[in-house]
Structure formats: structure tokens, C-alpha cells
Structure 1
Amino acid sequence: MVAFEHPHVEPPQTQWELPFFDSHHGELASRLAGWAALQRVDEADDRAACKDWVARLGRDGWLRYCVPQAHGGALPALDSRSLVILRETLAFHSPLADFAFAMQGLGSGAITLAGTPAQQSKYLSAVATGEKIAAFALSEAEAGSDVAAMATRATPAASGWTLNGSKTWISNGGMADFYVVFAKTDPDAGSRGISAFIVDALQAGLDSSGHIHVMAPHPLATLHFQDCTIGSDAMVGPLNGGFKLAMQTLDIFRASVAAAALGMARRAFAEAVAHAKQRKMFGQTLADFQLTQARLGEMSALIDAAALLTYRAAWQRDGSTTQGAGTPAYTAAAASAKLTATENAQRVIDMALQMFGGRGVRVGEKVESLYRDIRSLRIYEGASEVQLLILGKAALR
């Protein structure tokens, strides 16, 4: 399968003219759209394709938006609106390209936020160029949404720390050059007893060979740690400060998850419009039927609702209001964006597939692959049910 199967279907650009964005955001979107239209990546092998995407994104400067300027980044600090533009545009063309980009940011986010100067110097510039592939290792088989239930332990050792346990559903697992791993350093303290560590992929005691195969192929793996000893300089941030650091990292990228869903929804909508205009039925086109027009209208409204919530959340995090990063208002805005964009995208893509009829479920059709790609976004980085709880508690406050 090759990315960008339908170069005649182009992403919209007018959304970047909304007041949430500045002029440099529009310039970024225009450059990225032009670049994306020229890429051709064979995605038959998801791991090879991801490595290819990381290399391309690094070579041509797009990964520079994943790290701050001091370490080779494009901007002084991580900019949520730029992340939204990048993820929406990449996801429109290839969800795997979006995945490759996003994991560079998520995997290195804790180092950006709390890493020592030495850690930042060693890893962030390599992330920005694509020289190193990053991964974020938080989830466990019995600790997904309930992060405090994690069982992986980090115990003091003569030269630093020894890790034992396992992590699963780890994006870039088995192909990353390093992992930011969260482990219990005080097993009796719940979420207040978690710390973060950098573990290089070749570290003795780490086995990342347990690849996980899912409905929309992405590089995922289970990591096993058996007496994996790392140096004292591997800890990221303060002792027992890992839970807060993980949540801060996820907060940066939550609005961008919504943007990825939005990009997929826009692609499905564009495919549906193009199909409706050319599909002949009963002496006219599918687009001539009022039922088709009503369905397209519904899809358009769902996309617009998701877009406004997504852009608002990114704008708030960038500090355009007094309700920026780390505030309850931003947390609720990001939850609302993530929930609405992923749920609406699922509905839009399902409607698009229905409009294609039998052709829609044929392997190789863009709407068929989007149908599989979108499903996981309603689960990872905070399932829809978690976002509902965040919003419910915010309302009660």
C-alpha cells in the first residue's frame, strides 16, 4: 500500500485563517501541504514505513517542531497550534506519517519538560533530525487508564537503578532508540511513587521483541525488563515526580490527538464528496440525491464542531488567554477537544464508508483504511470515558 493514493484530493486550507492562528501558522500549513503532496511511501511494512517517515520528517525539518529551539527546534518552545497543524495535515494524507511525527514528540516530551541539560543535549537534537526514534512507555497490561496501578519497579542499585516488570501497547516498541519509562520507586505511594527514566534500546535486561499486531498496522510492542540496570543519570525529573510529568507530557499532545482525528475525518469527507460527484446512479450522480446532500451536511457540521474545539484547546495551551497550560480550564478544553474530535471522526468516516457502499469495505480503499485507523484514537492517550470523567468533574467544580 502506498501513502497518498489520491493526489487529486487536497486538504482544506481556510481553517488556518481562523483567529486562533497567527500568520506564521498559515505559512507553516502551506509549506507542509506542498511537501506532503510530493511524498510517496510504501506502507506495506508498517515498521519500515515509520522509519522512512521519521527520516523524511527529520531531513526536511518537520520534526524540529517536536523540540524547543535551544535543542535544534523550530520555535522557542513547543507550540500546540503548530502541532495541531502538523498532525491534522499529516493525518489527512497518511495516519502512519502522523504516528511517526507524534511519537517523536510524545517520546521526548518528558525530556523537554524536565530533562537535565545533559539529557536534553544527548536526545533532543537527535529527535529533531530523526537520528533517534523516541518512545513513551507508560501503559501496562493492568495499568492503562489507572496509571497508579502500574507494577513495574525501579529499585536502587549500586550504580543507579534496576528495572523489573513490563510495559505494553508501546508505540515504536522494538524500533525506538530510547524509551522514557515510568516505574514505581515507592510502591506504597500510588501515583505519588512513580518516577521516569531514560532507557536506551540496547540496554542489557530490556527485551522489546514482543511485537503487537493490531487492526490498523502500527509499530507496537511489549517491553520486558529483567534486572535492567541503568545509571543514576537516567532519571528524568524529580524522584517520585513521574506521574505529574507523564500527565504534563500527555497534556501537551492531547489537542494534537484531536487534530489527528480531524485530519482523518477531513480526508474521509473529501473522499466522500469526490465519490458523490462522480458516482452514477439512476441517471444522475449520487450527489444529486437530497439524502446524500443531507449526509454530507451532517459530516461537515461534525467536522466543524470538532475543529473549533481542537483549535480552541491548542490556542489556550499556547497562552493566548489566562487559561493556558496546566490550568483546569485548559484541561477541560483539551478533554472536550479529544472526546469530540475522535468520536465525531468515527461517525464521519463511518458515513463516508457507507456512501461508498460495497466498495467502501474493500481492502485498499482509503475509507476502509481510515475506518480501521480511527478506532484506536478513541482509546489511546485517554479513552473517551476518561475525557467524560474529566469534563463531568469540571462541571461539578
Structure 2
Amino acid sequence: MPAFSLEPEQRTWCAELRELAARRLRPLADRGTPGRVNRPLVAELGALGLTARLFTSGALGLCLMRESLARECAEAETALALQGLGAHPVHTHGSAAQRDRWLPGVGEGRLVAAFALSEPGAGSDAAALQLAALADGAQGWTLTGEKCWISNAPEADFYTVFARTTPGAGARGITAFLVPADRPGLTGTPLDMLSPHPIGALRFDGVPVTRADVLGEVGGGFRVAMDTLRLFRPSVGAFAVGMAQAALDATLAHTAGRDAFGGKLADLQSVAHQVAEMSLRTEAARLMVYAAASAYDTGGPDDPEVPRRSAAAKLLATETAQFVVDTAVQLHGAAALRRGHPLEHLYREVRAPRIYEGASEVQRSIIAKELYRGLRERAEGAGR
């Protein structure tokens, strides 16, 4: 499928998602408590069949869902995405027993998942994590340490946890574990953040895990994490595009209807040019997101083009959304800063995606690394 064009049925599906978000998800989101898991909203996402589609729609389908929901209800989009982020490692790398135990509940919206990678001293440098998995007999380990900035913590029902099983081994010494929230020694606290979705810290005080809890292979946790992020990075871009489009839609309506200086705001060339720039950047970001998702669906996570395209899509889209939302607030004026205004909400929501799942600076490093890798490979090929 061309990366720049959607099929008519895909456009229809996106319109249906936006309608569902406005009619059925927005009211549930409005009744939720900021910073807390909204279980009725999660349950409705399951009842609508959207959570189950996280695992069957491919990268482009995931992007279309996230963009469409974000245009109407960022809280619903985020709740859906966090379920996918936490449960995707189970879907892709879990054993049959792990998948059978946890994925039906996620798909139905009964269970809440979380992805526990970041730590107080290991954010962008994921390979530097220090949560220790200490051997405890032939079949198990105990987890000791902390995780921080974990979405859905401490209210999730289970966590995909990345811990160091081999000290000093860098990325090769990390193992992924599926850890139920009721394991002894696991505690957590919510964090009061600018972004309105739930984020918390976790403390592991000798939490027991066994080989039955391992996701993938012992020592293969970094691969589990990167497989997940390569899929979800373009879809973070889709989330950003959805927020940018929502801000653009609001700005078009506002500037076309607001009286100013003897006419409408839209009649001012300075305003019209800013709106045009907002539209241009949003569409460019959307096309890059679709291209990255299509590359993933065609070649899978091991396609050499995927890391660069995923990084570029997330980088461009999240930076674009920040610009578009900020410009929308400027064109709306003081009213957009009032608590409860849709743009005030977007302004708080749009900042975090430039940091999580790899900050913008990390994405630039990935892009440069892949460009130079390609240059070396071409030079080596020419020298043979």
C-alpha cells in the first residue's frame, strides 16, 4: 500500500473511531480523575473491541487508531496505547501460559497492563538500568530496586519489568519479566505530573520471580524492549498528529468566527499564514508516520529501515504537535489557558511525548547512527 494514501475503508474506519470517541469515550474520560487509571474507560475500550485490535491491526492500524482517538479524546487514546505498550511484550514474547493468563483480560478491558523500563537513573539510556535480579536458586530471582515514570503505575494489574540479571553486561545482561501487581515486596506511589495520565514509581523489595515469569529469553530483555518501542514509536507520532489535528481544527473554527480589527481573525495575513504552517507541518508529520508504519508492516521489526523511520516519525510528529498546539493557544489568546479549555488540556498533554519512549535527542542519535551505518555498508559493498 502506498505510504501516502489510505484506502476508502480505512478512512471510513477512522471516521467511525472519531465518532465513537466523541459519543462513548469522551463522557467516560470526563468523569475520570486526572492522574488515575480510568477503569470504566479501559473497560469501554475493551467492549468496543479496540484493545483486542492492538494485537491484530499491524503498525499502520495502530497508528490510525491512535490518531483518530486523539483527535476527539486524548485520554481514551492514551488509555488504549498504555494497554498496548504494557501487553505487547506478552503478546510477542510471552509463553502460551502467559498469553492465555493475561491477554484475554487485557483485550476485554478487565486488566490493566504497564511497561516498566525507566528508572530514576536510567531514562533515555535504557541499557543503563540497575533494577537487580539476584539469583535465588536454580529456577528464580528476586528483584530489588526502583522504577520511575511508569505509566499506569501503581494501579496496573501486571507489569512488564526489565531487570539486570548479569551485572556489567550492558544491554546483554537485561531480562524481561511479567510481574503481577500482587507479588510480595512490590509497592508503588503515584506521581503528580504535568501530563494528566497516570504515572507512578515502583519499588521492588526482594520481589520473587521464576523462569515461568520470563518474557522471551534470559538476557534477551533489551530485545523485548526494542521490539516494543520500534512498533510503538511511530504510533506515538500518530498520537501527536491526532493532537495537532485537533488543535488545528479548533484554530480554524476560532479564527474563522472571531471578530477582530473590523473583520475576522482569519482575514489577517499573519494569522492565515500561521494556520497554513500548522496544516503543512501536521500533514508532513502524518505522512512520515504512515511511511514508518508501512515499513514496519512490510519488513517487521528487524527491517534495517525500521529504526530510522520509526525514530524520524516520532521525532517529527512530536515536535510538530508541540509547535501546532502552542500556535493554537497563541491564536486563541487567554481563553485557551483557562483550566478546562480543550487547548489547555492539549497543551499539558502534548509535552510528554517529546520525552517518553526515547526523547527527541535520542531519536536524532538513532537517525544519525543509522545513516552512518548505511554509509559504511555501502562503502564495504563497493570495496568487495
Tell me if TM exceeds 0.5.
yes
Alignment deviations for residues 359-383 of structure 1 (CA, whole Å, 9 cap, x no partner) = 1222111111111110001000010
| 1:396 paired to 2:376 | no
Shift of 1:48: 5.2
The residue that corresponds to 1:51 in the other structure is 39
Q: Cα–Cα, structure 1 residues 117 and 94, in superposed 2: closer, same or farther, change >3 Å?
A: same
Checking the alignment, whether the CA contact within 8 Å between 1:155 and 1:163 is kept in structure 2 is yes
User: 2: CA distance between counterparts of 1:374 and 1:163?
Assistant: 34
User: 1: CA distance between counterparts of 2:159 and 2:99?
Assistant: 14
The residue that corresponds to 1:34 in the other structure is 19
Deviates more, 1:281-290 or 1:379-388: 281-290
- Normalization by structure 2: what TM-score? 0.92
Shift of 1:47: 5.0
The correspondence for 1:224, drawn from 198, 203, 217, is: 203
Q: Cα–Cα, structure 1 residues 195 and 62, in superposed 2: closer, same or farther, change >3 Å?
A: same
The correspondence for 1:264, drawn from 243, 264, 278, is: 243
Shift of 1:195: 0.2
The residue that corresponds to 1:154 in the other structure is 133
User: 2: CA distance between counterparts of 1:183 and 1:377?
Assistant: 24
The residue that corresponds to 1:164 in the other structure is 144
User: 1: CA distance between counterparts of 2:89 and 2:261?
Assistant: 58
What secondary structure is seen at the aligned counterpart in 2 of 1:328? Answer: coil
Q: Cα–Cα, structure 1 residues 19 and 294, in superposed 2: closer, same or farther, change >3 Å?
A: closer
The correspondence for 2:327, drawn from 351, 357, 360, is: 351
User: 2: CA distance between counterparts of 1:18 and 1:349?
Assistant: 25
The residue that corresponds to 2:50 in the other structure is 62
Q: Which amino acid counterpart does residue 15 of structure 2 have in structure 1? A: S
User: 1: CA distance between counterparts of 2:354 and 2:102?
Assistant: 30
What secondary structure is seen at the aligned counterpart in 2 of 1:318? Answer: helix
The correspondence for 1:365, drawn from 314, 327, 341, is: 341
The residue that corresponds to 2:356 in the other structure is 380
**How do residues 218-257 of structure 1 correspond to structure 2 at under 5 angstroms?**
218-257=197-236
User: 2: CA distance between counterparts of 1:239 and 1:80?
Assistant: 27
Q: Cα–Cα, structure 1 residues 47 and 371, in superposed 2: closer, same or farther, change >3 Å?
A: closer
Checking the alignment, whether the CA contact within 8 Å between 1:264 and 1:374 is kept in structure 2 is yes
User: 1: CA distance between counterparts of 2:252 and 2:186?
Assistant: 49
**How do residues 106-121 of structure 1 correspond to structure 2 at under 5 angstroms?**
106-121=85-100
Shift of 1:293: 0.9
The residue that corresponds to 1:97 in the other structure is 76
Divergent runs of 4+, >3 A: 16-24
User: 1: CA distance between counterparts of 2:328 and 2:355?
Assistant: 22
Alignment deviations for residues 181-222 of structure 1 (CA, whole Å, 9 cap, x no partner) = 0000001211100001111111110002x1111112221111
Shift of 1:20: 4.5
Q: Which amino acid counterpart does residue 60 of structure 1 have in structure 2? A: L
- Sequence identity percentage: 40
Checking the alignment, whether the CA contact within 8 Å between 2:51 and 2:106 is kept in structure 1 is yes
| 1:207 paired to 2:187 | yes
| 1:196 paired to 2:184 | no
Checking the alignment, whether the CA contact within 8 Å between 1:108 and 1:124 is kept in structure 2 is yes
The residue that corresponds to 1:278 in the other structure is 257
Checking the alignment, whether the CA contact within 8 Å between 1:47 and 1:175 is kept in structure 2 is no
Shift of 1:23: 5.1
User: 1: CA distance between counterparts of 2:213 and 2:12?
Assistant: 38
Shift of 1:229: 1.0
Shift of 1:283: 2.1
What secondary structure is seen at the aligned counterpart in 1 of 2:168? Answer: coil
User: 1: CA distance between counterparts of 2:8 and 2:58?
Assistant: 14
Checking the alignment, whether the CA contact within 8 Å between 2:59 and 2:297 is kept in structure 1 is yes
User: 2: CA distance between counterparts of 1:24 and 1:289?
Assistant: 38
Q: Which amino acid counterpart does residue 254 of structure 2 have in structure 1? A: H
| 1:327 paired to 2:307 | no
Checking the alignment, whether the CA contact within 8 Å between 2:51 and 2:108 is kept in structure 1 is yes
Shift of 1:324: 4.3
Gaps of 5+ in 2: 374-384
What secondary structure is seen at the aligned counterpart in 2 of 1:167? Answer: strand
Q: Which amino acid counterpart does residue 173 of structure 2 have in structure 1? A: G
The residue that corresponds to 1:295 in the other structure is 274
Shift of 1:52: 2.2
Q: Cα–Cα, structure 1 residues 269 and 366, in superposed 2: closer, same or farther, change >3 Å?
A: same
Checking the alignment, whether the CA contact within 8 Å between 2:3 and 2:287 is kept in structure 1 is no
What secondary structure is seen at the aligned counterpart in 1 of 2:41? Answer: helix
Checking the alignment, whether the CA contact within 8 Å between 2:190 and 2:199 is kept in structure 1 is yes
Alignment deviations for residues 52-76 of structure 1 (CA, whole Å, 9 cap, x no partner) = 2211100111101123xxxxxxx3x
The residue that corresponds to 2:376 in the other structure is none
Shift of 1:156: 2.0
